[in-house]
A = this chain, B = another copy of it.
Amino acid sequence: MPERAPTLRDVAERSGVAVSTASRALTRPGRVNQATADRVLAAARDLGYSVSPAGRALSSGRTGTVALVVPDITNPFFFGIVRGTQARLREGGYVHVLVDTEESVEAEERTLRTLRRSVDGMILAASRLDDESLAAWSREVPIVTINRSFPGLDCPSVTIDTPGGAVQGLEHLASLGHTRVAYAGGPRTSWSDGRRRSALAEASPRLGVEVVGLGPYAPQREAGAAAADAAVASGATGILAFNDLLAFGILERLASRGVDVPGDVSVVGCDDVFGADLVRPSLTTVAAPLEKAGHHAAELLLAALDPVHPRAGAPVELGTHLVVRDSSGPAPR
């Protein structure tokens, strides 16, 4: 086994200064004489010194770590978010802890409880927590949310305007002559699902389209079969899916039932995740700026965590745009 790692004391002794000076030489540029600092740096290098995160955390109360909590790491929706936050956090000198709560509220609570003391802050993407819990937690630990916000919540947030995106999708279908469109909705615990339903209900009269709300469905391929069946049964000629994963499942089911897409039914997804252009017919979908969202979230957290003057950034809302591919076309007849 490796012998004891060198400590700051070793470095201090080797460079003939006090431990405090060594500490400052390594962390407070300018606080000590350049020549002294150089000696300390050299000693640290010679010894292969690296600071003990535990010691530092204990003493300073800061861990240099941020948790990113996502409901399902295998959902490509979160890729961009992971990439975006990771890039920005790394820049800011933070380490990234990625946690998958597997769509479970309990696992999310457990994660918060476990990690609360070991991180400086958290980014909660598409949190499944209810409003009160979330508000309570945001008082315990610095939090930034992605795709989740409500009046009583006082932490910074980044939201993606998927309701607006859903309306774009609806407009697209309306302009293709569809008059009856099914919305295959996401989980009840999804905040954005509720907002989308409202937005669609509001827009439908203006567009002269009847919107049939279906669901809730799990945001996964497997749920697509039920959604497709329900949509067909509803007599809709257009389907807006909660997300692309669900849309994939819908496409599969329609194909196996011999329903032609886009001849008989048009399908529009949401998020433009990996695979949307791979599937056949390729999927028309509402593209969300995921990497940018992650970037903004990290930015907000970094601002809130600033040791000298922490500040609460304003909420950010990011727009979406429709990517038209082959799964949508003119209404039949």
| Identical chains bound together, number | 2
Cα distance, A64 to B54, chains bound together (Å): 12
Is residue A115 contacting chain B, with contact meaning CB distance below 8 A?
yes
Closest to A141 in B: B2
Is residue A52 contacting chain B, with contact meaning CB distance below 8 A?
yes
Would you call B97 and A54 a contact (CB within 8 A)?
no
Closest to A114 in B: B95
Would you call B74 and A63 a contact (CB within 8 A)?
no
Cα distance, A204 to B50, chains bound together (Å): 51
Would you call B248 and A278 a contact (CB within 8 A)?
yes
Cα distance, A275 to B116, chains bound together (Å): 36
Would you call B2 and A140 a contact (CB within 8 A)?
yes
Is residue A28 contacting chain B, with contact meaning CB distance below 8 A?
no
Closest to A62 in B: B54
A83-107 CB mask vs B (1 if < 8 Å, else 0) is: 1001000000001111110000000
Contacts of A51 in B (CB 8 A): 117
Option from B54, B86, B275 in Cβ contact (under 8 Å) with A58: B54
Option from B2, B57, B83, B96 in Cβ contact (under 8 Å) with A54: B57
**A53-B95 CB under 8 A given contacts A83-B74, A279-B279:** no
Cα distance, A65 to B97, chains bound together (Å): 10
A54-79 contacts to B, CB under 8 A, are 54-55, 57-58, 63, 65, 73-74, 76, 79
Number of interface residues of A (CB under 8 A): 40
CB of A171, distance to nearest CB on chain B (Å): 27
**A96-B99 CB under 8 A given contacts A2-B140, A52-B58:** yes
Would you call A50 and B113 a contact (CB within 8 A)?
yes
Option from B2, B79, B116 in Cβ contact (under 8 Å) with A139: B2
Contacts of A73 in B (CB 8 A): 79, 82-83, 98
Contacts of A114 in B (CB 8 A): 95
Is residue A259 contacting chain B, with contact meaning CB distance below 8 A?
no
Would you call A54 and B63 a contact (CB within 8 A)?
yes
Is residue A24 contacting chain B, with contact meaning CB distance below 8 A?
no
Would you call B52 and A55 a contact (CB within 8 A)?
no
Would you call A95 and B97 a contact (CB within 8 A)?
yes
Cα distance, A95 to B114, chains bound together (Å): 8
Contacts of A116 in B (CB 8 A): 50
CB of A45, distance to nearest CB on chain B (Å): 13
Option from B52, B63, B74, B97 in Cβ contact (under 8 Å) with A98: B97
CB of A281, distance to nearest CB on chain B (Å): 9
Cα distance, A5 to B99, chains bound together (Å): 24
Give 4 nearest A-B pairs by CB, closest first. Answer: A54-B57, A280-B280, A98-B98, A54-B58
Given A54-B57, A98-B99, 11 more contacts at CB 8 Å? A2-B139, A50-B116, A50-B117, A74-B76, A74-B83, A95-B99, A95-B118, A96-B98, A252-B278, A274-B275, A280-B280
